[in-house]
Amino acid sequence: MELTERIQQLLLEKYSTDEAFADCFTVDIELKPGQKLYVFIDSDSGFTFERCQKISRFLESHLDVNGWLGEKYLLEVSSPGIDRPLKFPRQYLKNVGRNLLVTLKDKTQQSGAIKESDELQVVLVNTVIEREGKKKKEVIVETPIPYDQIQKAVIKLGF
């Protein structure tokens, strides 16, 4: 079993046995050259610094006891950050109301505010201006996008 799979298994056990982490989920695990392990975790209620520290200590104890990365390694545990692509339906749900830029598998892009999401798709909403003769009117357009058509989706913050 690969190290990233072992780490994922440990985290799944932690989430299922420790009530303080019951709403947590692993977004990504990256092992980079030089014994650098990056673990990105999120939760439905927010991933605090304290939770991050506890997960880091939990993983360090297993890494040290089992010697999986040797004596010298770098472990970084954090939330995925706003610039990392969304991977799971629960991440879309957590970001309802925020602006999303989606690159589809056909290389086209869609953007808009997340109106809603479920296990199958995310719905983006935009206000567009349409002309009726000489008059302009605002129309709200909803665009459902199935997750299986998404290549990459990132939250876009407006400044």
User: Are 3-78 and 89-156 in the same CATH fold?
Assistant: no
Q: What is the pTM of this model?
A: 0.81
Given a contact cutoff of 8 angstroms between Cβ atoms, the answer to whether 143 and 126 are in contact is yes
Interval 1-23 mean pLDDT: 94
The first and second tokens of residue 57, run together, are 């200590």
| Residues 29-47: tens digit of each pLDDT | 999 999 999 999 999 888 8
Q: What is the pLDDT of residues 109-136, one digit of tens each?
A: 999 999 999 999 999 999 988 888 888 8
Each domain of the chain, given as residue ranges in start order, spans 3-78, 89-156
Per-residue model confidence (pLDDT) at position 136? 87
Beta bridge partners of 103: 109, 152
pLDDT of residue 159: 53
Q: What is the homologous superfamily of the domain 3-78 according to CATH? A: K homology (KH) domain (3.30.300.20)
Best CA proximity match to 143, nearest among 105, 106, 107, 101: 101
In which band, very low, low, confident or very high, does the pLDDT at 145 lie, cut at 50, 70 and 90?
very high
Secondary structure of residue 119 in the 3-state scheme:
coil
**How far apart are the C-alpha atoms of 33 and 37, rounded to whole Å?**
9
CATH code for the part of the protein at 89-156: 2.30.30.100
Pairing, β 121-132 against β 109-117: antiparallel
